[in-house]
Chains A and B, each alone.
Chain A
Amino acid sequence: MTGAPASWSFGEADAEKMRAVLAGFLRESGARTALVVDRSGQLVATVGEPPAFDPTAFASLTAADFSANDQLARLLGEQEFGTLFHQGERESMYLADVARRVILVVLFDTRTTLGLVKLRARHAVGALDGIFTAMFERDGAGGPRRGMETEFVGEAESEIDKLFGA
């Protein structure tokens, strides 16, 4: 593997599949919100109660949290910590690795239990794993790269000049 990191993309059909899995999981687990965050810190999807916090900041911190714990696992001689749990007085978070590329983040409160969330999450992670593995295989299959329209770069450059001062 050499060169610049390629971008990855997903479409409406992929997003729909993700949403269906997450919506089913929320129904069965009684959790409030499920988010999918990629390992570089970008928010991929949110399902359930819309979060009251800044989701962009949340996604970047989640990825950092997961990566830091990954390194801790290695120091202990473990390959990884596949899941993490943060317990609050009322609100808690459960995080699980998906296909080594994205993270499922579950927010839940006292209306459900960690046991139920964990149990149902296992099935959801399996389903998401399938969706993401297929997505990454397709992106990495060497098909023609789908670039943005020709005008895109020019317009983006003039927006950059406007925002950051010409």
Chain B
Amino acid sequence: MSMINYASREINCKLVYYGPGLGGKTTNLEHVYNKVAPASRGKMISLATESERTLFFDFLPVDLGTIRGFKVKFHLYTVPGQVYYNASRKLILKGVDGVVFVADSQIDRMDANIESMQNLYENMAQYGYDMTKLPFAVQYNKRDLPNAAPVAELQAALNPGWPVSEPARQRTTPDPYHDGEQLVFEQDGQWVERALWFEAVALTGDGVFDTLKAISKSVVKGLG
């Protein structure tokens, strides 16, 4: 829920990185922190355990600068991925403007990915948010590992798409980020829309900014 402050002419948007434990959410934020010009970002806060597992959240504010007289800021958050931290994970989703789901591509993390994705949908539904109407991107992380599942398999499990019922939107829409792929398409007589998706190796930074750029643009479009 972006907040537009007409008095100080500021717009604040909240982006949340969600996903299973040890999937690379914090690593995404750390890469952004290390690469964005220091003047454009604030202090990174990590509420973590002694073993550096996220306990509550990580937080990184990024300043987009002044656009048509408004200072635009993105607040990036991660949630704790471990299953038993659901109470704190849900709190972080409050007022979210866009979600990045960081999936762990390793075959043996498939169940953890699916469980986390279901948990995201449940938590969002409890706030009354509809995932199909919110800026949403899925990032397949750890693509460099030898046991990474094929993207098609990950897509089928985690981003199979949701039905598109509005006739106006029932038209083939190409995926601007992947040649030859579609975001909205017809499948077995049913119109389906998929979330944006990206491949990444967060440790080296590959795909981190592609994901962030895409989700930020989706959020900004919603302000127009």
Contacts and interface: CB of A to CB of B under 8 A. Distances in A.
Nearest to A157: B217
Contact of A160 (B4, B95, B216): B216
A2 B45 contact: no
Interface residues of A, number: 47
The SS class assigned to the B binding surface is mixed
Interface string A131-166: 000000000000000011111110111011101110
B134 A156 contact: no
Interface of A: 1-12, 14-16, 38-42, 44, 54, 56-57, 60-61, 63-64, 67-68, 71, 147-153, 155-157, 159-161, 163-165
Interface of B: 1-8, 11-12, 14, 35-37, 40, 42-43, 45, 47, 56-57, 59, 61-62, 64-65, 67-68, 70, 72-73, 75, 77, 87-88, 91-92, 94-97, 127-130, 133-134, 209, 212-213, 216-217, 220-224
Q: Which 9 A-B pairs have the closest CB atoms?
A: A40-B95, A15-B7, A1-B128, A9-B4, A5-B1, A7-B2, A153-B224, A11-B6, A67-B91
18 contacts: A2-B130, A4-B129, A10-B4, A10-B5, A12-B7, A14-B7, A16-B7, A39-B94, A40-B1, A56-B43, A60-B75, A64-B47, A64-B56, A64-B57, A68-B91, A71-B91, A153-B224, A164-B216
